[in-house]
Structure 1
Amino acid sequence: MGDLSHLLRESWTVVEEQQEKLAGYFYARIFLSNPHLRDLFPVQMDAQRSRLLGAIVTAVQTLDDPERLDAYLRDLGRDHRKFEVTPEQYAVVGDALLESLRIFGGERWTPDFDQAWRDAYGLIAQKMIDAAKADDDPAYWIAEVLSHERRGRDIAVLTVLPGQPLEFRAGQYVSVECPAYRPRVWRVYSMANAPRRDRTLEFHVRALSSGWVSGALVRRVRAGDLLRLAAPMGSMTLDRRSTRDIVCVAGSTGLAPIKALLEELTRFNRTRWVHVFFGAGTREDLYDLPELRAIAAQHPWVSLVPACSRDASFDGEHGNVSEIVGRYGPWNDHDFYVAGSAGMVQATLRTLAALEVPPSRIRYDAFGQ
């Protein structure tokens, strides 16, 4: 596996600078040879191209970690059931991917590179197919929006109820589709709660300028609307075997999975201190601060540090939360949970690396990576 991983990484450097063109060619190749597959994809393909490349790079980078790779591909295979993908279509995708790599690799693309990608894709596809076959859950869940609360200009908190039981762990996320407003466009959002007896799920959504689904969820969706939810994914879950104290670092609506972990901890924790750093641009963006303060007041093992990076009048820490966590500590023997934008997660990981926090003690899911 080491030789295969080395070949994949080396070959990716040959095409990496042309990855956007490669992805465009890849999809064009699929749709020209199999026009009926176009209906599986959204009208606008920009984000879809990014997700393809993200999945490829993630798989390539985890080949040396079989346990992590298996978990990632198992989740991905289950998640792709929402598209009603058949095993035959995996072969179509594989052929298009290999042809695209050859085209953009040009003279630098070697037979060894070609065979490495053929072997890797065969492994990846089979694991995803097997995971989908073994999954007895629905391909997706229909969920009714029970409540929709605006928290400022571009943030909303939604409570939804799936029509069938949806099993997940605190800290995980699901793909969400708004069929009435953005059909065939899926985006991932973390649940902001641990599993509850009433089966409700809470989502925290920030409308982004380029976010079709986030904009619909914040500005158009109302109570009574229906959403589709795909299979739960993600590994940022609580390690109950650990006895170490915990540090949670959340940026904006990255608070959602952190809040879910807090809810789980309130049900059993008596011995672990939990330090929560919650950062955003302005005071308004700290949309859930009152509830966090209520949790900290009720549970003395929770300490809360809110921060603003662009609000000089805020009565608290000032600066990026990724830097502020470094002002506290020491963190020599803590478990870390980090959630936010890809940039915020990367910045926090750099801070923790400078503090010599072992990577094995850090859990995160960076959707933009």
Structure 2
Amino acid sequence: MKFRSLQRDGEVATATPPTVEWTAAGPQLPEPGQLLTRRQVALIRSVREAVEPCAADLPRFFYATLFERYPDVRDLFPAQLDVQQDRLLRALLLIVELVDDPQHLAEFCANLGRDHRKFGTVTEHYAAVGECLLATLEHFAGPAWTPEAAAAWVAAYNTAAQVMDSAAIEDAQHRPAVWHATVVGHRRRAGDLAEITVRTDQPYPYTGGQFISMDTPWWPKTWRYYSPANAPRPDGTITFQVRAVTGGRVSNALVRRATVGDMVRLGPPLGELRIDPTVPHKVVCVAGGTGLAPIRALVEQAVLDGSQRPIDLFVGARTLEELYDLDDLYQLAQRHPWIAVRAAVADEQTADSGDQLLTALAQNGPWLHHDAYLAGPASMIVSVARLLRRGGMPLERLYHDPFVSLDEVDQP
């Protein structure tokens, strides 16, 4: 597979992707020195820095170019592209950050390739996307877009596309691109939150702590990610806790319109959040809002795995009404004494459980020898991570929502 940049001053930058070896552990790329040179990595990042001031315009230009040159691919995308545009930029930035880390780049791109099967992506689409991505970068990068920089970007994109396509082809050999699921339970909970239970048309393999994309009939092809609130059950049902957010098309449809009997589609499970039963460290889990769903599933999975690592679970909520899962969690703790559950409810005057949660966490520490698992609003995750870091917890023992960045945790 080869991709070309736009012609510039009579030159065309081309690159052939490195060989990707596939093993039981996944795609294996060459060592860093065989993948991209330091000069190429520096050029790729210089282009990223040059286009950063235009971050809001870059996705719009890319999609306009893609649909103009390849109108047939428009049907793969939802009618409203707002969220999809943001995802493109996030994926692009992650690939740039990983260009000198071949193994993590391979893992990220392999997961991306498997997940893109649900959109109907096929091998031919990667060339079209590569062409339009390079055209977009050239449009916004200005003087930073030299023939040498273009060649470096071609090499990086070739590598990412090769891994994505290989992972998708391999994945298609043993599981579907999507699973059809029937809503078998719909229960309104606190305020704008609903508990929705589905059953898939065929076995859906996942582990507690992963997250799943969902497509609904009300907003076709508008995939949204939700975390199951349970580890795998014998009856195959999966429960999601969905809050109707302001302006959220899919979440509002699921909470206010979905009923038993409706059909949804699920993409493949993603994420590697799991409490390893073989690790000796104790565990502290902190959940806020609907972040309780993945944390509860994570703890249930630890039980299924036979882990007996001591777990301290802290749950933050704005009101007592939002703690509807608390009785079930207490019962789980009674059956498994190595689990302890504590709740922090917002002060009536502040209507914010953040301070109470941090106070409870600080009072029951120290946690420097624990592994920490965090889920909830981004601001909560950052605040809790900062508290744990100041208490001496190493950054590598903090596990959290992959969509939240902890880059600024150690800053004052």
TM over 0.5: yes
Q: Does 2:189 align with 1:163?
A: no
Q: Does 2:185 align with 1:147?
A: yes
- TM-score relative to the length of structure 1: 0.92
Distance 1:164 1:368, change over 3 A: same
Q: Does 2:246 align with 1:246?
A: no
Aligned residue among 395, 404, 408 for 1:359:
395
Distance 1:320 1:66, change over 3 A: farther
Instruction: Tell me the percent identity.
Output: 42
CA distance in 2, matches of 1:274, 1:255: 15
8 A contact 2:181–2:265 mirrored in 1: yes
Distance 1:289 1:6, change over 3 A: farther
Per-residue deviation, residues 159-189 of structure 1 (Å, max 9, x unmatched)? 111101111121111110102x111100011
Letter in 1 for 2:344: A
- TM-score relative to the length of structure 2: 0.83
Aligned residue among 48, 53, 61 for 2:89:
53
Per-residue deviation, residues 273-315 of structure 1 (Å, max 9, x unmatched)? 101111233333334223223322332222222223453499x
Q: What SS class does the counterpart of residue 43 from structure 1 fall into?
A: coil
Distance 1:137 1:12, change over 3 A: same
Letter in 2 for 1:291: D
Q: What SS class does the counterpart of residue 85 from structure 1 fall into?
A: coil
CA distance in 1, matches of 2:389, 2:55: 29
Distance 1:36 1:368, change over 3 A: farther
Letter in 2 for 1:350: R
CA displacement at 1:344 relative to structure 2 = 2.8
Distance 1:102 1:269, change over 3 A: same
Q: Does 2:94 align with 1:43?
A: no
Aligned residue among 236, 247, 254 for 1:199:
236
8 A contact 1:312–1:318 mirrored in 2: no
Letter in 1 for 2:80: Q
Q: What SS class does the counterpart of residue 312 from structure 2 fall into?
A: strand
CA distance in 1, matches of 2:115, 2:354: 39
Letter in 2 for 1:209: T
Q: Which residue of 2 aligns with 1:311?
A: 348
Gap runs ≥5 in structure 2: 1-31, 406-412
Aligned residue among 61, 68, 82 for 1:32:
68
Q: Which residue of 2 aligns with 1:216?
A: 253
Larger radius of gyration between Structure 1 and Structure 2: 2
**Which stretch shows the higher mean deviation, 131-140 or 262-271?**
262-271
Q: What SS class does the counterpart of residue 32 from structure 1 fall into?
A: helix
CA distance in 2, matches of 1:349, 1:8: 31
Distance 1:236 1:320, change over 3 A: farther
Gap runs ≥5 in structure 1: none
Q: Over aligned residues, Cα RMSD in angstroms?
A: 2.3
**Which stretch shows the higher mean deviation, 170-179 or 6-15?**
6-15
8 A contact 2:277–2:302 mirrored in 1: no
**Which stretch shows the higher mean deviation, 183-192 or 354-363?**
354-363
CA displacement at 1:324 relative to structure 2 = 4.8
CA displacement at 1:358 relative to structure 2 = 1.6
8 A contact 2:310–2:338 mirrored in 1: yes
CA displacement at 1:355 relative to structure 2 = 2.4
Per-residue deviation, residues 218-252 of structure 1 (Å, max 9, x unmatched)? 11111111110001111212222202111111121
CA distance in 2, matches of 1:324, 1:118: 51
Letter in 1 for 2:220: P
CA displacement at 1:202 relative to structure 2 = 1.2
Aligned residue among 100, 104, 119 for 2:155:
119
CA displacement at 1:257 relative to structure 2 = 1.1
Distance 1:207 1:357, change over 3 A: same
**Which stretch shows the higher mean deviation, 19-28 or 64-73?**
64-73
**Which stretch shows the higher mean deviation, 116-125 or 283-292?**
283-292
**Which stretch shows the higher mean deviation, 241-250 or 6-15?**
6-15
Distance 1:352 1:81, change over 3 A: same
Q: Does 2:93 align with 1:93?
A: no
Aligned residue among 279, 283, 298 for 2:316:
279
8 A contact 1:308–1:319 mirrored in 2: no
Q: What SS class does the counterpart of residue 97 from structure 1 fall into?
A: helix
